Structure 1
Amino acid sequence: MKIGKRIGAALLVVVVLIAAAGCVATPQNETIVSPTGENAGSGWIVSDLAGSVTADMNISVQDDFHAAVNKEWLSSSKIPADKMMISTFTERNDEVTQEILALMDDTTQTSHEAKLVQQLYHDFIDMDTRNALGMTPIMPFVEDIQKIKTIDDLTAYLTDDKGKIAGAPMGVSIMADFKDSTHNAVYIGAPSLSLGNMDDYRNITPSGERQKAANAVSFQKLLIRAGYTKEEAANINEVLFALESKIASACDGLSASSVPGYQESIYNPVSTRELKELSPTFPVTDFLQPYISAGVDRFILTEPDWLEKMNELYTEENVEGFKAILLRNTLMAGAAVLDQECLDILTESSSAIAGSEIHPDLNQTAYETTSSLLDMAVGKMYADAYVQPKTKQDVEELITKVVAVYRERLQNTSWLGEDTRKKAIEKLDALKVRVAYPDDWSLYDYTGLTLKSKEEGGNLLTNVMAIKEMNREQNVQKALTPIDSNMWITTQAAPQTVNAFYYFLDNSINIPAGILGGDFYDPEASEEKMMGTIGMIIGHEITHGFDTGGSQFDKDGNLKNWWTSEDKAAFANRTAKVAEYFGQFEVLPGVFVNGQLTIGETVADLGGLSCMLEIAGTMEDFDYTTFFTSYATLWKEQASQNILELQTRTDAHPPGYLRTNAIVQQVQEFYDTFNVTEGDGMYLAPEDRLSVW
């Protein structure tokens, strides 16, 4: 799991022509709403909310540690018009972005990969060419969808999806087999729908309502630009949402996926023959033909109920609904690489969701798009230009020290039995460590990719489609090839990524070079500051191997129970208390933290902090004040009320102020350092304090 928020910092990001998403900024004249009620921490300022902390406030570390430590930043920082939120992560991302932007016109970058990166970036910022082309590049895709009249036409279109923006209404992903981590598997399940969280189709939230309304406006405007009348566009949008609602009725939302044991429930291996028998009407095996023809005969069906529903819905009666889904996926994805009018439509949609007017930064958007589509090509340029081998070495050495301390902690964990303890230590000792950048760049091959200049008849859309086709071909090969343990999970850990994560399918922690700077890492900082920042992040990621999700996978990344029943029950009791405690926090009126959704991150925060304090206890004259205040700076952020509501409802990470306050109040060292006593806002009675690892 990643340590940072899922919602990014840039205004507009292209996600490989599957969907287009806008990011948002804070309203300039928004009414600030404070939480009410007698829930835990009700006296703390919801300081993630833009404008909630002002310079004239008198805030003590004993009453609201996060707001007190970060007061100057919280009261003076403004969310730029090209961002929906700001945080320690976005600030560091801005630094990395500026470094990489300097490489986009660097003529000394002569490698094939660098030339691909520079061309795609310059294609994106060439608005004169994009505006001159207008909707022309996407119209052949729209016209092909318009030709579909019958269910047989639809099947033919979806079966031969090479060179198409939108494919079959299903999700297909290639990753390690849950129960054989040495080989990849093809996972199939529900597609992404326009509201994102399937739960919103059953019981829509205020943020879901905003998203639905914004989606409707943007989709209809794009349809009109593609030649449909206003009435036709409205009807297509209505048909789209009606069919999406039927599909979503059989799909898992966040409420289902956050339940313990969910991973086991979505592991349903089937052969091609079995899949065909399970899906007699919805021709799923036809849509998987590239894999089947290449020799794949085993698939993991993640949501059997979804497949059953698709067989019910795949009829002549719903052809127009499926066409509407194809049109939406094609137009919303394609719009991000078309002309300024299309970009304005997407920006308007983002503004509606955020409740504020936003203004995109073209260069930032171009960089993030290029980085998304050519992740490791950008990563190599960045690593070669800016990352010192000593940084990689120093962080690897720090991880070794943290692992050693974690091993001692596991050996001394009183509530673990010997059998489980042994397996836990074996898992820790088998941990794979990936820091800064890969050792072997030859694993990331772009030699077969060619992007055409406009003089050669290419344009931004055709070049993005070329990248999509390369990814398609590589995915088929990936499904057939044993896993190379040296291969990084590039979509999450390319070197320029400002984040860190634990990957449960190969038992690895991944610390990309992007996060090794800013407030996260300073090689000249004191040990206490380093422990409160990058050390805390390392401990956090290691703990993910032993959180409610990671604990279900063994040392090799296989979904396998390595717990005794007694130890599993004790672990469940401890984590349930964490979920219950965080579930009490009312971030906005009526909007509470979902303690079960955030349990992995809160357990990881607790584990990371306790690990660092274990190290601190062995050091003479340790400066706990610097340690705790450095930790608090990790989670400073500001967002609009709309975005804070959306994050609280859908993000696996709790709000930043809780990642500080509700975590540090669990450890006695915090009370001793800042003289926190009963009656203070940060006080929590010893018998109520949480501990897992």
Structure 2
Amino acid sequence: MLAALALAACAACNTASPDKTAKIPAFDTTSIDKSISPCEDFDGFANANWKKANPIPGTDSRWGAFNILDKENKEVRLKGIILEIAKRTGLSKGSEEQQIADYYTAFLDTTTIEKRGLEPLKPYLDKINGVTTLEDWAKVCGELQQIGVSTWAGFGVEADARNSKMNAVYGGQDGLSLGERSYYERTDSSTENVRKEFQGHVDKMFSMAGFTDANPGATILAFETALAKLQLTNVELRDPVKTYNKIAFSELSTLAPAFDWKAFADEQDVKTDTLILQNKNYISKGGQLLKATPIETLKTYTRFQLLSRFAGYLPKQFDDEDFRFFGTVMTGRKAQRPRVERAIRSTDGMLGMPLGKLFAKQYFPESSKEKVSQMIENVRAVYGERIDKLTWMSDSTKKMAHKKLQAFTYKIGYPDKWKDYSSIDVEKDKLFESVVSAALFRHKEAIKKIGKEVDKSEWLMTPQTVNAYYNPLNNEVVFPAGILQPPFFNPDADDAINYGGIIAVIGHEFTHGFDDQGSQFDAEGNLKNWWTDQDRQNFDTLARKYITYFSGLEAMPGFSINGALTIGENIADLGGLTLAYYALKKSLEGKEEPALIDGYNWKQRFFLGWAQVWHANITEAGLRNQIQTDPHSPARYRINGPLPHMAEFAEAWSCGEGSKMVLPAASRVVIW
């Protein structure tokens, strides 16, 4: 999936309603630094001046094209929609307008939030305090899971990877406050400082809350470290075969008998005879860890998970401390956004689809769907031609690849049908309860899917999201309205810029169907091998070569890119660029050579379009966090990384052998 980086003062952001008559430049040539050779550092050449003119706002850890458009969508467009609704009176209870208006009001009502203190948490804290056995703890964890509070393991519902038409229950590892195992294992000074800061953060949160647990920071860090050592790494989690382990639900009690799985599931209303585990060994060893852990430690851990989950909806001291650690220490953000901006974003987070319906109606005309559909079909046609020309794949596997490619479906802009959200109970003076009601709604929606046929019309992103995705279980690509705007798609731009932008994005998502993970799913979305053994070996050899290449790129001292973690996105970038380039070339067949624009030919402008989509600045802490946790390479390496493998780039910019942006032919990787 494409990254919505930072999930934003900005020369490209508006502070008023956008002028629909104003033309947006295709590519701002003032971004270019001609003192840098495009053949030595293309990101530097195309974006150095942009980076100087666009420092990272204190409220963000990353700042680039995604963030700028996201800020426009949320802080201008959605803000206008929400403020207009908030002015209305007499809104019917349960209507989407009432929910939006009252949630926004509740988030801004800091007087009531301060007055209530931790009182909203009391029913849950009382239950944690009442735990005396591991069986009690399992029951409380089950109740807390419904409202999004993490514990050592969790359930989820999605299509069965080996029977993609039906929904199944999945069981996975969970419960790490720092998000990823490497944060508990690395011994470099920056990561050790994160652990030290985390310990102090927990201690401060407990002190402010009046909790009397002894040494809570050290206690929780020690427990989570022990838990982390048992978990699969984020690289291991990429293997869909290794993480598909279907078992009888009753087997959980054999794997981890000390944990009351029935109580845990009953509290969540999870009823199933089977489930699919990520890692049976984790459940077994984790169960042993729980049995050996003092119950008071588990209660301390659970208090923090509850407090951390809802810190942003509690009095200012908790909100501020939560931001200090997770915002500043973890990602380098210097300041919280103003409360009004946060209210807009929080309303979007809770009621994204009702808002999305209004956003799409106002900002995404039906005509745009047809334009994007044509783009998708152009990419599909070029992908088929690329498959036919592959030298490393046999005819029998090519036939199956074509079958999968033709089976691709797509969604554009917004859903064709909208869910009923009226059961979410939003009250303007009860922010916490409104958040809980929205969480319970999402939980119940998931529970209703268990054992039922998959609804392939469902969207996993809201229309206003600046992102796109490929879903291997549906074999579909999805492009929300939010990303179908400049600089990704600019109706005022020349074709070369748009092909380097939105067409490369479309190609990226298509290629996910054939990356290291997607290539293991067939045309119907099932985890099923459709390759000959030799062809699979050829693909894996190319992928390993690309992993080695990216792993050799040091993003900052002591932190190299994790080629194995980012391989799916890196393959998709290379594939997307290649498909877009040849789609553009095909569109020009039989036509006159396009005239130079701003002194650059169409081939050069294609790559400038790519560089414009990914230009970005990032904080040091944000970069460290991304390298350890994100399957996407940092923006600079999404620009520069694939280009040395493309002879088309070297030709466009007349780069000779020995240039940094050119690899010897034998070292290049061409997969799709």
CA offset at residue 165 of structure 1? 6.3
Retained in 2: the 8 A contact 1:499–1:514? yes
Number of equivalences: 634
User: Where does residue 219 of structure 2 map in the other structure?
Assistant: 239
Q: Structure 1 CA distance, aligned partners of 2:157 and 2:646?
A: 41
User: What are the equivalent positions in structure 2 for 1:407-446 lying under 5 Å apart?
Assistant: 407-441=384-418, 444-446=419-421
Match in the other structure for 1:341: 317
Counterpart mapping for 1:253-402 below 5 A: 253-258=233-238, 262-289=239-266, 295-315=271-291, 317-349=293-325, 350-354=327-331, 357-402=334-379
- Work out which of the residue numbers 137, 143, 154 in structure 2 matches 1:154: 137
Equivalent position to 1:464, from 407, 432, 435? 435
Report the residue type matching 1:158 in the other structure.
Answer: C
TM-score (ref. length: structure 2): 0.89
**Compared CA separation, residues 365 and 209, structure 1 to 2 (3 A):** farther
Q: Write the deviation string for residues 566-588 of structure 1: whole angstroms up to 9, x where unpaired.
A: 10011111111111111111111
Residues 173-184 of structure 1 correspond to what in structure 2 (within 5 A)? 173-184=156-167
Higher RCO (CA 8 Å, separation ≥ 6 residues): 1
* CA 446–286 in structure 1, closer or farther in 2 if over 3 Å, else same: same
Amino acid at match of 1:611: L
Q: Is the 8 A contact 2:614 2:638 kept in 1?
A: yes
What is the alpha-carbon distance in structure 1 between the residues aligned to residue 33 and residue 571 of structure 2?
A: 35
Amino acid at match of 1:410: I
Partner of 2:450, secondary structure, is: helix
The answer (yes or no) to whether the contact 2:412–2:480 under 8 Å persists in 1 is: yes
Partner of 1:645: 624
Match of 1:106 in 2: 84
8 A Cα contact 1:199 1:255, kept in partner: no
Alpha-carbon distance between aligned partners in 2 of 1:649 and 1:351, rounded to the nearest angstrom:
17
* Residue from 51, 54, 58 that aligns with 1:74: 51
Paired with 1:118 and 1:205, the residues of 2 have a C-alpha distance of: 47
Find out whether 1:4 has 2:22 as its counterpart.
no
Q: Which one-letter code corresponds to 1:347 in the other structure?
A: F
Amino acid at match of 1:8: L
Structure 1 position 132, deviation (Å): 2.4
Preserved CA contact (<8 Å) 2:152 2:173: yes
- Which of residues 529, 535, 538 in structure 2 aligns to 1:567? 535
Q: Could you say if the C-alpha distance between residues 165 and 641 of structure 1 is closer, same or farther in structure 2, counting changes exceeding 3 Å?
A: closer
Aligned to 2:463: 495
Deviation of 1:598 (Å): 1.1
Matched residue type, 2:42: F
Check the 8 A contact 2:120/2:432 in 1, yes or no.
yes
SS in structure 2 at match of 1:496: coil
C-alpha displacement at 1:174, in angstroms? Answer: 0.9
Residue 428 (structure 2) aligned to one of 453, 466, 469: 453
Q: Residue 169 of structure 1 aligns with which residue?
A: 152
Structure 1 residue 197 corresponds to structure 2 residue 183 = no
Deviation at 1:204, TM superposition (A): 4.7
Which residues of structure 2 form unaligned runs of 5+?
A: 10-29, 595-601
In structure 2, distance between residues paired with 1:516 and 1:485: 22
Can you list the C-alpha shifts for 1:629-664, whole angstroms capped at 9, x where unaligned?
111111111011221122123221112222222222
User: Deviation string for 1:229-275 (max 9, x for gaps)?
Assistant: 5xx45x122222222222222111224234xxx21111111122223
1:119-168 CA distances to partner (integer Å, 9 max, x unpaired)?
21221122222122222222332233223233343244335558766365
Contact 1:207 1:646 in 2 (8 A): no
Matched, 1:513 2:481: yes
Alpha-carbon distance in 2 for matches of 1:91, 1:54:
15
Q: Is the 8 A contact 1:275 1:285 kept in 2?
A: no
Whether contact under 8 Å (1:141, 1:164) holds in the other structure is no
Runs of 4+ with deviation above 6 angstroms:
53-57, 108-111, 162-165
What is the aligned partner in structure 2 of residue 671 from structure 1? Answer: 650
Deviation at 1:202, TM superposition (A): 3.5
CA contact (8 A) 1:162 1:469 kept: no
Cα pair 1:247 1:309 within 8 Å, conserved:
no
Structure 1 residue 430, shift from structure 2 partner = 0.6
Deviations 1:281-311 (A, max 9, x none): 11123211257x6752111111111211232
Residue matched to 1:220: 203
Return the alpha-carbon distance in structure 2 between the equivalents of residues 635 and 367 of structure 1. 26
Query: After superposition, what is the alpha-carbon deviation per residue over 1:541-563, rounded to whole angstroms, capped at 9, x for unaligned?
Result: 10010011100111111111100
Distance 1:156 1:75, change over 3 A: closer
Conserved? CA contact 1:82–1:360, under 8 Å: yes
Q: Secondary structure at the match of 1:270?
A: strand
Q: In the alignment, what sits opposite 1:535? A: 503
CA contact (8 A) 1:198 1:253 kept: yes
| Counterparts in 2 of 1:348 and 1:274: CA distance versus 1, 3 Å | closer
Q: Work out whether residues 103 and 428 of structure 2, in 8 Å CA contact, stay in contact via their aligned partners in 1.
A: no
Q: Please state how far the C-alpha of 1:214 moved relative to its aligned partner.
A: 3.0
Rounded to whole Å, the distance in 2 between the matches of 1:55 and 1:506 is 41
Aligned to 2:81, the other structure's residue is in SS state coil
**What letter matches 1:581 in structure 2?**
Y
Partner of 1:480: 451
Counterpart AA for 2:420: D
Say if 2:220 and 2:300, in contact at 8 Å, map to a contact too: yes
Alpha-carbon distance in 2 for matches of 1:209, 1:5? 28
Counterparts of 2:625 and 2:171, CA distance in 1 = 27
CA deviations on 1:568-620 (whole Å, 9 max, x unpaired) are 01111111111111111111112111111111111111111111222233314
| SS in structure 2 at match of 1:171 | strand
Name the stretch that deviates more: 352-361 or 432-441: 352-361
Native 8 Å contact 2:6 2:60 kept in 1: no
Alpha-carbon distance change, 343 to 290 in structure 1, aligned in 2, over 3 angstroms: closer
Opposite residue 3 of structure 1, the aligned amino acid is: L
State how 1:525-674 maps to structure 2 within 5 Å.
Answer: 525-618=493-586, 619=588, 620=591, 621-622=593-594, 623-674=602-653
What is the RMSD of the two structures over their aligned residues, measured on CA atoms? 2.4
Partners of 1:163 and 1:688 lie apart in 2 by 50
Question: Aligned partners of 1:277, 1:147: CA distance in 2, in Å?
Answer: 27
In structure 1, C-alpha distance between the alignment counterparts of 2:570 and 2:564, rounded to whole Å: 10
Q: What's the secondary structure of 2:454's corresponding residue?
A: coil
Moved more, 493-502 or 120-129: 120-129
Cα 1:646/1:166, change in 2 over 3 Å:
closer
**Contact 1:665–1:684 under 8 Å retained in 2:** yes
**What secondary structure is seen at the aligned counterpart in 1 of 2:127?**
helix
Query: 1:433 is matched by which residue type in structure 2?
Result: Y
Supply the distance in 1 between the matched residues of 2:8 and 2:130 (Cα, whole angstroms). Answer: 39
Distance 1:127 1:536, change over 3 A: same
Q: TM-score, normalised by structure 1?
A: 0.87
How many angstroms apart in 2 are the aligned matches of 1:94 and 1:412? 42
User: Which residue pairs with 2:168 in the alignment?
Assistant: 185
Q: Is the 8 A contact 2:507 2:576 kept in 1?
A: yes
Answer whether contact 1:240 1:321 (CA < 8 A) is retained.
yes
Q: Is the 1:237–1:324 contact (alpha carbons within 8 Å) kept by the matching residues of 2? A: no
Distance 1:366 1:218, change over 3 A: farther
